[in-house]
Amino acid sequence: MCLAIPAQVVELRDNDNALVDLAGVKKEISLALVEGVAVGDYVIVHVGYALNKLDPEEAEKTLKLFAEMGELPGEDPTIH
């Protein structure tokens, strides 16, 4: 099973890369597959690539559900 997680873009970087924040965990990802992403946008991230932009309300709902299940990386140090 594959899991794609919403993350918020906190910094745009060179070469179609961005720094995203997911529950306090920051990771550099590729934006090569998505156009028009800005700082503050939410993107769906899978294996280091943004797959598409996500509505902020939908992103918050999804992240809340992951948090309730204890599935966010920042929620449990044993989850990476």
Flag whether 24 is in a domain: yes
Give the distance, in angstroms, between the CA of residue 24 and the centroid of all CA atoms in the same chain: 11
**Using CA atoms, how far apart are residues 55 and 47, in angstroms rounded to an integer?**
20
Write down the pLDDT at residue 80: 38
Q: For residue 79, name the pLDDT band (cuts at 50, 70, 90).
A: very low
Which range marks the domain in which residue 47 is found?
5-69
Flag whether 45 is in a domain: yes
CATH number, domain containing residue 50: 2.30.30.140
- With H, G, I as helix, E, B as strand and everything else as coil, classify residue 40: coil
pLDDT single digits (tens) 20-78:
998 789 999 999 999 999 999 999 999 999 999 999 999 989 888 878 887 665 544 44
pTM: 0.79
The domain total for the chain is 1
Write down the pLDDT at residue 2: 63
